[in-house]
């Protein structure tokens, strides 16, 4: 039976993996940990923890994700996203474990007008993007069988994210301004978790490899917000505005749509459209609100 360890288990993707893990309970033994138990920035702790638990596969969901805050905390972002990833990659190499490391579309500068594939040059615009790229590079260098899995615009019924922010703002205001000139792919964390579960039994790479996963379809943040409000039946007007009218500390790539051709072909994945997944996620959020 394969043993799987998930770091950053209290985040959006970690929570979704925890929900879906029982589906592989007959084939895998799962362990979930977060910063309270394992500080991945501590190299010795990371090494000892993996030596003690001896996973066959490590899924690293641990990350610093405060994109704007990273501009004023670059060392903290780098510590978690780059040095932490390097520590885990070395520890995985020492026990011959496979590592699946979650990364981001923000490693690209957004100057393309066609979807980015795995071989396109990474050129991040922000401190967050740079820290994630350094993490990728560390995993590719240090983990003999590392898998980089880039995703984009992640949301879930768990944690804080764009969908939940839009739901809250739409209930508090008559109208919301949302940028319409940043283009990408909203991705439901549960779909990503399901894809990871489908990948695990079929991973055969004996050298580091990069994959990309995002829900099908393309949207601007305005399109995404409009869909959230419309599907929720809320009476709030979404107003499209340019990025220039909403300056943020961290620059965003204007276009960060990622190609998923490689992962679909290698693992025979059918990827849902973002609107279909958003509808299901909103139903989950409503159900959770009703139960609470």
Angle of CA points 117, 118, 123, to nearest 5°: 90
- Which residues does the annotation mark as catalytic? 128
Crossing angle of helices 221-232 and 162-172, rounded to 10° = 60
- Cα separation of 116 and 130, whole Å? 17
- The answer to whether residues 250 and 67 touch, using CB atoms and an 8 Å cutoff, is yes
- Cα separation of 225 and 173, whole Å? 14
What values do phi and psi take at 87, rounded to 5?
-60, -45
Q: Which residues contact 121 (CB under 8 A, 6 or more apart)?
A: none
Q: Which residues contact 135 (CB under 8 A, 6 or more apart)?
A: 81, 82, 84, 85, 86, 101, 103
């Amino acid at each position: 039976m394969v043993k799987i360890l998930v770091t950053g288990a209290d985040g959006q993707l970690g929570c979704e993996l925890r929900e879906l893990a029982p589906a592989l309970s007959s084939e895998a033994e799962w362990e979930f940990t977060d910063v309270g138990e394992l500080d991945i920035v501590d190299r010795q702790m990371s090494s000892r923890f993996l030596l003690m638990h001896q996973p066959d596969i490590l899924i690293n969901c641990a990350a610093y994700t405060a994109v704007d805050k990273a501009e004023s905390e670059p060392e903290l972002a780098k510590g978690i996203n780059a040095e932490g990833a390097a520590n885990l990659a070395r520890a995985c190499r020492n026990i011959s474990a496979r590592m699946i490391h979650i990364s981001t579309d923000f490693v690209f500068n957004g100057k393309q007008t066609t979807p980015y594939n795995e071989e396109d040059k990474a050129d991040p615009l922000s401190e967050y993007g740079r820290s994630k790229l350094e993490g990728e590079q560390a995993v590719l260098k240090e983990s003999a069988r590392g898998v980089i899995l880039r995703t984009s615009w992640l949301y879930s019924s768990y944690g804080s994210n764009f969908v939940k922010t839009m739901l809250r703002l739409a209930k508090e205001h008559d109208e919301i301004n949302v940028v319409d000139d940043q283009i990408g792919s909203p991705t439901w964390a549960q779909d990503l978790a399901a894809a990871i579960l489908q990948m695990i039994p079929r991973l055969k790479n004996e050298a580091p490899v990069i994959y990309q996963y995002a829900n099908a379809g393309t949207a601007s943040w305005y399109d995404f917000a409009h869909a959230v409000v419309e599907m929720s039946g809320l009476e709030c007007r979404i107003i499209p505005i340019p990025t220039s009218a909403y300056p943020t500390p961290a620059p965003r790539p204007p276009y960060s749509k990622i190609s998923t051709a490689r992962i679909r072909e290698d693992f025979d994945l059918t990827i849902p459209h973002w609107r279909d997944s958003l509808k299901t996620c909103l139903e989950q959020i409503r159900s959770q609100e009703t139960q609470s």
